[in-house]
């Protein structure tokens, strides 16, 4: 039996009672505190107030250097209940041969089960990593997975993304790498999992941990647009990341974004500060100490020399559990040969019978760029619906990893007709003002795998807000861009043709008799 199976409680929530230190008395709340301290102060080895749960956070650390050793010694001195990482646990290539020297040598006393060469491991799970890009460099299987990492650690769920509760903190550990089979867009299977689990938790502190920072001011990597999910709207109280070998505290959308990549690898410089950036530090290696009770959570950055560089406190009263709107989902699949089409942008010839959809070039002729159309008939969206989320799900027909950027728009018309084998039939159609870009489309490594577009809510919203829109009409989406990804078409396999998924807010004013299935968490 896996440790996940042993630790599942009601509702599928993984609740890890790690050590006795997790069971602490609550500190009575006072006023609201927004504390920002920096410079020369030394953190006591133990808190002097009633004991909160302590968690250490390290990132970009697995290099087997003196800097890593110093940071690991700092972490050990805190006697934390658990250690959480923000990825890049195993430089340079995520290989099995380097894992124990890069991780176990310094953190074996927190790892369970530990089977390495550097001493005894923990008696229970106390080490919770997330995958970084360097951890993905060695992969195997179909779809390719970071096998050395998966073999070395025993983690909950699919081990790539999972959840764990440490005292009053509920950690949601994500895989932010573009190779993640369940996707990294806000509409992805992984994001859907996060949204549902955030909705289900009752913990006062909901902390998302991933490698690639949604926001970062470093000039080396910077912000990661595909990971800019609506974390605050879904109920997160903080988002912790790494990737940039810096520390940064950013306040956006009413929550905290921390970049914490000072665990041992070489340090990165500051670039242009992003909106909401409050504190940036990259002068020495260090780690983040998180101390939490049911009322407060404190994030403290300490250097390996024991110098406090930043501290920030959140009050639980400011972060009530979210009340997400009730939603219903409507789906429609391309259902006829004339409902998907390709138009050459050089000759404007239209093909209605292709066995796949080339988005937007064919590998055999990469200079030939085309416009792709998809028509979804009988879309049962009430006029004026509030569109919460929308995406198209594609099935992979051919593997590809070339750089690709796509742009989505809809035909600006009511109940558009099927496509015709007439020159310029797609490009002649008027388009919505709303458009959505899919920047840096992830690799599609496995035939048959499903990939979801970014959120197309603005595009669909413009359609249902049209005066002439009626439930049951058709929606046409048009896709152009550069690079190539090859998706299944209706003529290739009707059951794998593109699928439109739309979620709308549930309202009492919907027409009687309209069947709208509830979205399940």
Cβ proximity of 500 and 408 under 8 Å: no
Q: 48-62 b/e with 16+ CB inside 10 Å = b?
A: eeebbbbbbbbbbbb
Who wins on pLDDT, 512 or 363?
Answer: 363
Q: Which residues contact 213 (CB under 8 A, 6 or more apart)?
A: 221, 223, 224, 227, 241, 242, 243, 244, 248, 257, 259
Q: Are residues 104 and 211 in the same domain?
A: yes
The residue range of the domain holding 450 is 327-505
For residue 193, what pLDDT band results from cuts at 50, 70 and 90?
A: very high
pLDDT in tens, 480-500: 999 999 999 999 999 999 999
Does 462 reside within a domain? yes
pLDDT in tens, 8-59: 222 233 233 232 233 222 222 222 223 333 333 333 333 344 689 999 999 9
Q: Are residues 444 and 476 in the same domain?
A: yes
Q: What is the value of pTM for the model shown?
A: 0.82
Question: Domain with 395 in it: what CATH number?
Answer: 2.60.120
Give the separation between CA 426 and CA 420, rounded to whole angstroms. Answer: 9
Q: Are residues 99 and 151 in the same domain?
A: yes
Residue-level pLDDT at 322: 83
Q: Are residues 107 and 151 in the same domain?
A: yes
Which token pair is 137? 């460099």
Does 310 reside within a domain? yes
Residue-level pLDDT at 120: 96
Does 23 reside within a domain? no
Kindly tell me if the per-residue pLDDT of 502 is higher than 50: yes
Q: Which residues contact 67 (CB under 8 A, 6 or more apart)?
A: 264, 265, 285, 304
Domain boundary among 318, 337, 371: 318
Q: Are residues 311 and 358 in the same domain?
A: no
Q: Are residues 340 and 423 in the same domain?
A: yes
pLDDT in tens, 72-98: 999 999 999 999 999 999 999 999 999
Q: Are residues 153 and 276 in the same domain?
A: yes
Q: Are residues 245 and 331 in the same domain?
A: no
pLDDT in tens, 196-207: 999 999 999 999
DSSP state of 100: I
Q: Are residues 225 and 160 in the same domain?
A: yes
Instruction: Return the SS3 of 359.
Output: strand
Instruction: Tally the domains of the chain.
Output: 2
Cβ proximity of 260 and 250 under 8 Å: no
pLDDT in tens, 421-468: 999 999 999 999 999 999 989 999 899 999 999 999 999 999 999 999
Q: Which residues contact 312 (CB under 8 A, 6 or more apart)?
A: 34, 35, 36, 249, 256, 298, 299
pLDDT in tens, 216-257: 999 999 999 999 999 999 999 999 999 999 999 999 999 999
Domain boundary among 318, 338, 355: 318
Report the mean per-residue pLDDT for the chain.
Answer: 88
- Most distant CA pair in the chain, distance: 78
Question: Domain with 92 in it: what CATH number?
Answer: 3.60.21.10
143 preceded by cis ω (within 30°)?
A: yes
Instruction: Return the SS3 of 379.
Output: strand
Kindly tell me if the per-residue pLDDT of 517 is higher than 80: no
Does 170 reside within a domain? yes
Domain boundary among 248, 283, 318: 318
Q: Are residues 260 and 331 in the same domain?
A: no
Q: Which helix (H) or strand (E) holds 231?
A: helix 231-234
Does 132 reside within a domain? yes
Q: Are residues 357 and 233 in the same domain?
A: no
Does 28 reside within a domain? no
Does 227 reside within a domain? yes
CA 93 to chain centre: 22
Q: Are residues 256 and 365 in the same domain?
A: no
């Amino acid at each position: 039996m896996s440790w996940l199976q042993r630790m599942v409680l009601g509702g599928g929530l993984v609740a890890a009672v790690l050590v006795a230190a997790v069971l602490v008395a609550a500190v009575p709340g006072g006023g609201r505190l927004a504390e920002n301290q920096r410079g020369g102060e030394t953190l006591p080895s133990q808190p002097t107030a009633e004991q909160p749960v302590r968690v250490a956070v390290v990132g970009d650390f697995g290099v087997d250097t003196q800097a890593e050793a110093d940071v690991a010694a700092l972490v050990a001195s805190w006697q934390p209940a658990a250690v959480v990482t923000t990825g890049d646990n195993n430089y340079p290539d995520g290989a099995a041969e380097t894992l124990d020297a890069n991780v176990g040598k310094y953190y074996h006393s927190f790892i369970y089960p530990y089977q390495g060469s550097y001493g005894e491991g923990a008696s229970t799970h106390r080490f919770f990593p997330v995958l970084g890009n360097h951890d993905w460099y060695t992969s195997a299987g179909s779809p390719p997975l970071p096998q050395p990492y998966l073999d070395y650690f025993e983690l909950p769920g699919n081990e790539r993304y999972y959840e764990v509760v440490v005292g009053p903190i509920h950690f949601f550990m994500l895989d932010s790498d573009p190779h993640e089979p369940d996707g990294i867009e806000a509409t992805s299977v992984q994001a859907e999992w996060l949204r549902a689990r955030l909705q289900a938790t009752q913990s006062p502190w909901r902390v998302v941990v991933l490698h690639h920072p949604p926001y970062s001011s470093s000039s080396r990597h910077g912000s990661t647009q595909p990971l800019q999910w609506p974390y605050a709207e879904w109920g997160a109280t903080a988002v912790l990341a790494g990737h940039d070998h810096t520390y940064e505290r950013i306040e956006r959308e009413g929550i905290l974004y921390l970049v914490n990549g000072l665990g041992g690898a070489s340090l990165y410089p500051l670039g242009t500060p992003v909106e909401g950036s409050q504190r940036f530090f990259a002068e020495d290696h260090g780690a983040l100490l998180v101390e939490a009770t049911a009322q407060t959570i404190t994030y403290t950055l300490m250097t390996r020399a024991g110098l406090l560089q930043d501290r920030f406190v959140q009050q639980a009263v400011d972060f009530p559990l979210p009340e997400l709107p009730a939603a219903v989902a409507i789906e429609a699949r391309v259902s006829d040969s004339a409902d998907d089409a390709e138009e050459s942008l050089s000759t404007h010839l239209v093909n209605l019978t292709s066995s796949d959809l080339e988005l937007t070039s064919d590998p055999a002729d990469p200079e030939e760029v085309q416009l792709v159309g998809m028509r979804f008939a009988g879309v049962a969206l009430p006029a004026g619906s509030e569109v919460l989320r929308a995406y198209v799900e594609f099935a992979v027909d051919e593997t590809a990893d070339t750089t690709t950027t796509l742009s989505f728009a809809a035909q600006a018309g009511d109940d558009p007709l099927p496509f015709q084998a007439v020159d310029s039939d797609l490009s002649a159609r008027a388009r919505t003002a709303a458009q959505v870009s899919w920047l840096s489309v992830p690799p599609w490594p496995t035939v048959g795998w499903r990939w979801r577009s970014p959120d197309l809510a603005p595009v669909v919203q413009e359609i249902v807000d049209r005066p002439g829109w009626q439930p049951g009409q058709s929606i046409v989406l048009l896709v152009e861009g550069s690079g190539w990804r090859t998706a299944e078409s209706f003529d290739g396999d009707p059951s794998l043709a593109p699928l439109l998924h739309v979620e709308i807010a549930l309202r009492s004013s919907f027409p009687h008799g309209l069947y709208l299935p509830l979205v399940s968490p």
